[in-house]
Amino acid sequence: MKIPCDSSSIISLADNCLLRILEGTQHKFVIPKRVKMEIFDSPFSTKRFKLRAIQINSFLQRETMEVVDDPFIHSYSEEITDLANSLLSYRGDNVKIIHQGEAEVIACLKLLKSNTIILDERTTRHLIEDPDRMRKYMEARTGLRMEMDEAVKRRIVKELAGINVIRSAEVFAYAYEKGLVAYHGAKGALEAGLYALKFSGCSITEEEIKDYIELLG
């Protein structure tokens, strides 16, 4: 199966030298051109992230990962971005929730007729899995009452129904259980790996890490 990946997950895995576990899954991972820009072209021009960019690029040369570029990705991601960014409003003004870059991974999934994406970012995950949660989150954080366009919500739910979101944490947990992690069986390895991904930006809570330890540890 071909599985589209967002830059957030590739960066979290690369930061912890875990990209190789993708190879062990026997799947092909796909990124839109813009994601390649985010994980390679742009960091390659910085002193701070150049080494990681080089490491990622060497992984991109392998057969496990493929870059796709198709006019559909641009048009469909624009449609999803427009929909998402008209979902919530405050005092009549729409709140721009997501960026087209995030929607491109969803477009990639539609193009490939896949049903799973790898994505570490919280807001896009909420948009796919539970748009109401996104509103609750934003209202709780800002203290402002947001209006939700119910017709837009219905269109989003219909459009994104059935998409399975996997974070880098899930990929790691799976690889750990299957013995694909080099230090499998080392005491505390599962917990260490999940926390390392969390500290690299994966949107997993401490409570979820504890749940994983209970489930697989």
Partner 1 sequence: MEDIKKMIDKYFAELIVDFENDREMELRELSNNSMESAAIRQDKRMVDISTVAYALAKLMSKPHLFKSDQWNRFKAHILQELKAKKSMEETLKRIIEDVNSFDIDLGNYVRDIIEKARIKQASRAYALGISLKQASELTGANFSSLLDYVGATKIHDRPFTKSKSIVDRYKATKKALGE
- The window from 59-67, 87-95, 153-161, 184-192 that contacts partner 1 (CB under 8 A) reads 87-95
String of contacts with partner 1 for each residue 47-66, x by CB under 8 A: xxx--x--------------
How many whole angstroms separate alpha carbon 39 and alpha carbon 10? 8
How many whole angstroms separate alpha carbon 45 and alpha carbon 35? 15
Is 149:87 a contact under the CB 8 Å cutoff?
Answer: yes
- The window from 7-15, 58-66, 72-80, 183-191 that contacts partner 1 (CB under 8 A) reads 7-15
Q: Is residue 145 at the binding interface for partner 1, with CB under 8 A as the rule? A: no
How many whole angstroms separate alpha carbon 155 and alpha carbon 153? 5
Selected binder of partner 1 within 4, 5, 11, 65 (CB under 8 A): 11
Our CB check for partner 1 shows the closer of 98 and 156 to be: 98
Mapped to the 3 state alphabet, what secondary structure does 172-213 carry? HHHHHHCCCCCCCCCCCHHHHHHHHHHHCCCCCCHHHHHHHH
Q: Is residue 13 at the binding interface for partner 1, with CB under 8 A as the rule? A: no
Selected binder of partner 1 within 23, 25, 33, 217 (CB under 8 A): 25
Selected binder of partner 1 within 32, 65, 77, 102 (CB under 8 A): 102
Residue 60 Cβ vs partner 1, minimum distance, rounded to whole Å:
16
Is 134:22 a contact under the CB 8 Å cutoff?
Answer: no
Is 103:67 a contact under the CB 8 Å cutoff?
Answer: no
How many whole angstroms separate alpha carbon 214 and alpha carbon 217? 6
Q: Is residue 77 at the binding interface for partner 1, with CB under 8 A as the rule? A: no
Q: Is residue 101 at the binding interface for partner 1, with CB under 8 A as the rule? A: yes
Q: Is residue 113 at the binding interface for partner 1, with CB under 8 A as the rule? A: no
Could you tell me the two tokens for 133?
């949660």
Q: Is residue 95 at the binding interface for partner 1, with CB under 8 A as the rule? A: yes
At 176, phi and psi to the nearest 5? -65, -50
How big is the site for partner 1, counted in residues (CB under 8 A)?
68
* DSSP letters for 55-73: HHHHHHTSTTEEEE--HHH
- Binding footprint of partner 1 on the chain (CB under 8 A): 1, 3, 7-8, 11-12, 15, 25-27, 38, 42-43, 46-49, 52, 90-91, 93, 95-99, 101-102, 115-116, 121-126, 129-130, 133-134, 136-138, 140-142, 144, 164, 166, 170-171, 173-174, 198-208, 211-212, 215-216
